[in-house]
Chains A and B, each alone.
Chain A
């Protein structure tokens, strides 16, 4: 069974940093592109970032480029999202998602709240 389990969310002050993790199991993690998608409270889905299966290429939404860094450790079956310079607009549930452009499996999400 495919499982994606996010962790690392929480309350952070404006300008602060946070690193999200996503532990993958039930499939060959190193064969798949992975992504982060976020959803602000009561709002819709917004694509954040993606990384190729071997980690050699990444893409970002304009709203996070230069502040967020996606990475992965295929030996640990884990996806990461390093978030720096956080602002109130980054408050959201962050979902770890499998797929290159179609999101076929989603984690349960981890909530990031940016507030003083």
Chain B
């Protein structure tokens, strides 16, 4: 199975900050990498697919980059509604696997 890791596991940031979350795969997955946001008590929501494509309806302050084994999710200017947990997921091969999540909290 492909193992996904994320760093940091949590971070504190202020509204307006630029936030970067890293995801690493245990083997190359080309650009088969997706990012999800999950707020407490809610289902996850797709933000970015195939590493850098913005899902319809997702604000442009979210962006993704990377290929191979190393990927990044960037929030250019943090908004109050962005405080949540973020997960990466590889869609390269079964079993699909997720990173452990990065919790973005208010400083």
* A interface residue numbers (CB < 8 A to B): 44-47, 59, 61-62, 95, 101-109
**What residue in chain A is nearest B99 (Cβ atoms)?**
A44
* B interface residue numbers (CB < 8 A to A): 32, 34, 36, 38, 42-46, 49-50, 55, 87, 89, 91, 94-101
A-chain residues with CB within 8 Å of residue B94 when the two chains form the complex: 59
Q: Cβ of A103 and Cβ of B46 under 8 Å apart?
A: yes
Given contacts A101-B32, A109-B43, contact A47 B97 (CB under 8 A): yes
Q: Cβ of A103 and Cβ of B95 under 8 Å apart?
A: no
Chain B contact surface mostly: loop
Q: Cβ of A102 and Cβ of B49 under 8 Å apart?
A: yes
Q: Cβ of A103 and Cβ of B55 under 8 Å apart?
A: no
Q: Cβ of B44 and Cβ of A106 under 8 Å apart?
A: yes
A-chain residues with CB within 8 Å of residue B46 when the two chains form the complex: 102-105
Q: Considering the chains assembled together, what is the distance between the CA atoms of A59 and B44 in angstroms? A: 22
**Set B50, B55, B95, B100: member contacting A47, Cβ < 8 A:** B95
**Set B34, B42, B49, B101: member contacting A44, Cβ < 8 A:** B101
Given contacts A44-B100, A47-B97, A47-B98, contact A104 B55 (CB under 8 A): yes
A-chain residues with CB within 8 Å of residue B98 when the two chains form the complex: 44-47
Q: Cβ of A101 and Cβ of B95 under 8 Å apart?
A: no
A-chain residues with CB within 8 Å of residue B49 when the two chains form the complex: 102, 104
A-chain residues with CB within 8 Å of residue B55 when the two chains form the complex: 104
**What residue in chain A is nearest B1 (Cβ atoms)?**
A62
B-chain residues with CB within 8 Å of residue A44 when the two chains form the complex: 87, 98-101
B-chain residues with CB within 8 Å of residue A45 when the two chains form the complex: 36, 38, 44, 87, 89, 98, 101
